Amino acid sequence: MKDFGICSDGFQHSEMATIARSFAGGNLPLGVTRRTGPLTISMPLRQLSQTFVIAQEYRHLADYDTGETFARNPVMQFIDRIESAINGWPAVREEVASKAFLFGQLVWNRIRDR
């Protein structure tokens, strides 16, 4: 089955990665901050965002680069990192920046450049 970069719930992986890169770097586009005001992006939310970006990059390597190989121990360590990021979500989910992160999943491409 070909992956067209769209999750079963309608979100596009490329858009999700763009959002995650912005939040990981703490650099939100002007079109976003015009609507949200200045946001403080906590280190746990930045780390979660960075983990998403790296996970997507690894997934692309695994799916599309037939010459790529992966060693078990680093993969298991990265899986632990993903689980840790997911388990850390409850600690940040009430932050304004976290709510903007989630809302961005719906409207990012429509507001980021405006």
In a domain, 8, yes or no: no
In a domain, 79, yes or no: yes
For the chain, residues with pLDDT lower than 70 are 1-11, 109-114
In a domain, 19, yes or no: yes
Instruction: Give me the number of domains the chain comprises.
Output: 1
Contact of 48 with 84, CB cutoff 8 Å? no
Q: How many CB atoms lie within 10 A of CB 106?
A: 12
In a domain, 41, yes or no: yes
What pTM was estimated for this model as a whole?
A: 0.79
Distance, in Å, from the CA atom of 22 to the CA atom of 8, rounded to the nearest integer, reads 24
pLDDT at residue 31, rounded to an integer: 78
pLDDT at residue 1, rounded to an integer: 38
In a domain, 39, yes or no: yes
In a domain, 7, yes or no: no
Distance, in Å, from the CA atom of 113 to the CA atom of 5, rounded to the nearest integer, reads 22
Give the chain's mean pLDDT. 84
Distance, in Å, from the CA atom of 64 to the CA atom of 68, rounded to the nearest integer, reads 9
Token readout for 70 is: 């992966």
pLDDT at residue 113, rounded to an integer: 60
In a domain, 75, yes or no: yes
Distance, in Å, from the CA atom of 67 to the CA atom of 75, rounded to the nearest integer, reads 17
Residues spanned by the domain of 103: 13-111
Q: List Cβ neighbours of 87 (8 Å cut-off, separation of 6 or more).
A: none
In a domain, 76, yes or no: yes
